[in-house]
Amino acid sequence: MPTDAVTMDKIVSLCKRRGFIFPASEIYGGIANTYDYGHYGVLLKQNVIAQWWKAMIQERDDVVALDSAIIQHPRTWEASGHLAGFTDPLVDCRTCKKRFRADHLGELECGKRPSKHPGEDAQCDLTESREFNLMFETTIGPVKEAGATVYLRPETAQGIFLDFKQVLQFARRKPPFGIAQVGKSFRNEITPGNFIFRTLEFEQMEMEFFVPPAEAEDWYRHWMQERLDWYVRLGIDPEHLRLRAHDADELSHYSTGTSDIEYLFPYGWSELEGIANRGDFDLSAHAAMAGEKLEYRDPQGGEAYIPHVIEPAAGVGRSMLAFMIDAYAEDEIGGEQRTVLRLHPALAPVKVAVLPLLRKDGHPEKARAVYEQVRRTMNAEYDDGGAIGRRYRRQDEIGTPFAVTIDHQTLEDDTVTLRDRDTLAQERVAVDGLARLLQDKLAVD
Ligand code: GAP
């Protein structure tokens, strides 16, 4: 259970220790809610994204890919409602000079008395709440005053709506069909973020699925199930996932219905991904603002309509966090404690470690040859530093499903020991055909 074995402290410390994820700008003391991804973090992140593309594109015929710009025409955000409505209510404390989300005061700590909430202590002096827009502003042009104010996108979705007409033409698709995109989004979040759960910049995996209006409800249900299944297929315990429909007062300005896929993080149930029924809000709003028709005309009947949109919107960082938390385990081998990430093989940053038992007697040379063989088809790591037990433990901690050990017998009969991360079973297998064997073992779905 993530709530028992794992704490956020353990995950944060593992991420830092093994270089998955660590605070950005650390030499300057860090910067709020901003993290850098190191070697294993990058590999895990790429694997999460690859699995999302696989589910969206490779396994379907009705979704196409897009990579739109981060900075779009500023009227985009007027039409989408983000300029007017993408805000959080904030209060400042005149005593401690800290800023708080007015609607989260009960969960936050007073700047001077962390045992109390802001406003609880007699010394607290909070301002009236005011709306604070979450979009980051910048300027195009060399002179700030003369330049045009533009915004870093707070969601990737709007780029998809702007390109709807183009994609309709070149992709030769008709509703129901989707446009998928993965990319960075930016939000000026001021609430402390629970590690990478809430950050200022983050990657989103979003898909806008355009449907005939009468089919919207069915597709909404379809995408809720599809997305829930995706997390389970990639190893998350179904008991740690739930769907929660938004109450009317929680709905975003564009949505007629939203359900969150929530995950049981160590600090409680929280949103992993949102599935929204956006109706025709966005296409209608951009059509009106740009004076363009953003509709689909049936070539047979000739009837034109504005498609409705079902949107599954996931966060890469949040998914990674959930995959790591769910995979985290501590157990004991031969009286020694180990930490293991039981990641799904498709997500594991390294698929196999190749380890010479000794740093002499021809073991390293043979191990390097085996390593060269397997790395052609999968991400592998060669490690000859330290006792074999420690090397196994290092690989367990980063979630490597298999370890191959080269020993004196290898030099006699060309076999190696294959160790399974989860069962700890060790079998003797031939070097000849090892890469194929590993591929078969890794190809679980
Ligand atoms: N286009 C719809 C949209 O952006 P959202 O619920 O605001 O909806 C979708 O965001 C997903 O993006 C969230 O479920 C979460 O996984 C991720 N996300 C949103 N804000 C985030 C932040 N500040 N840091 C990390 N991930 C975030």
List pLDDT tens digits, range 296-339: 998 887 889 999 999 999 999 999 999 999 999 999 988 888 99
Tokens coding 404: 């191959």
For the chain, first and last CA: distance in Å? 22
**Cα 277 to middle of ligand 1, angstroms:** 16
**CA of 258, closest atom in ligand 1:** 6
Rg over alpha carbons for the chain, rounded to the nearest Å, is: 25
Does ligand 1 come within 6 angstroms of the Cβ of 187? Answer: yes
**CA of 196, closest atom in ligand 1:** 25
Percent of the chain at pLDDT > 90 equals 86
pLDDT value at 378 more than 60: yes
Which residue of 135, 155, 156, 194 sits with most ligand 1 atoms within 8 Å of its CB, as the best mutation to test the pocket? 155
Nearest residue to 48 (alpha-carbon basis) of 186, 199, 185, 234: 234
Tell how strand 201-211 and strand 308-315 pair up. Answer: antiparallel
**Cα 74 to middle of ligand 1, angstroms:** 21
At 41-67, the pLDDT tens digits run 999 999 999 999 999 999 999 999 999
CA 365, CA 332: separation in Å to the nearest integer?
A: 32
370: CB partners within 8 A, 6+ apart: 354, 404, 406, 416, 431, 434
Confidence grade of residue 444 (pLDDT, cut at 50, 70, 90): low
CA 355, CA 419: separation in Å to the nearest integer?
A: 11
Choose the weakest-confidence range: 20-34, 74-88, 104-118, 338-352. 104-118
* Interior/surface letters 39-54, b for 16+ CB within 10 angstroms, e for the rest: ebbebbbebbbebbee
- H or E element that contains 45: helix 39-53
- Please give the pLDDT value at position 145: 67
Choose the weakest-confidence range: 5-9, 200-204, 331-335, 384-388. 331-335
Does ligand 1 come within 6 angstroms of the Cβ of 62? Answer: no
Choose the weakest-confidence range: 187-196, 247-256, 274-283, 425-434. 247-256
**CA of 157, closest atom in ligand 1:** 1
Does ligand 1 come within 6 angstroms of the Cβ of 155? Answer: yes
Per-residue pLDDT, averaged over 396-408, amounts to: 98
Confidence grade of residue 146 (pLDDT, cut at 50, 70, 90): low
Tokens coding 214: 């009468």
Which residue of 135, 162, 200, 204 sits with most ligand 1 atoms within 8 Å of its CB, as the best mutation to test the pocket? 204
The answer to whether 317 and 196 are in contact (CB under 8 A) is: yes
Does ligand 1 come within 6 angstroms of the Cβ of 198? Answer: yes
CA 160, CA 180: separation in Å to the nearest integer?
A: 8
**Cα 260 to middle of ligand 1, angstroms:** 11
3-state class (DSSP) for residue 143: coil
Nearest residue to 121 (alpha-carbon basis) of 130, 110, 136: 110
Confidence grade of residue 2 (pLDDT, cut at 50, 70, 90): very low
pLDDT value at 3 more than 50: no
pLDDT value at 246 more than 70: yes
Per-residue pLDDT, averaged over 124-151, amounts to: 88
At 162-178, the pLDDT tens digits run 999 999 999 888 999 99
Q: Write the single-letter amino acid at 242.
A: R
Confidence grade of residue 144 (pLDDT, cut at 50, 70, 90): low
Q: Give the global pTM.
A: 0.94
Does ligand 1 come within 6 angstroms of the Cβ of 204? Answer: yes
**CA of 318, closest atom in ligand 1:** 16
Per-residue pLDDT, averaged over 400-408, amounts to: 98
Tokens coding 229: 């299944």
- Please give the pLDDT value at position 172: 87
CA 324, CA 6: separation in Å to the nearest integer?
A: 10
Angle at 318 between CA 316 and CA 319, to 5 degrees: 65
Percent of the chain at pLDDT > 70 equals 97
Q: How many helices (H) and strands (E) does the chain have?
A: 14, 23
Per-residue pLDDT, averaged over 216-241, amounts to: 98
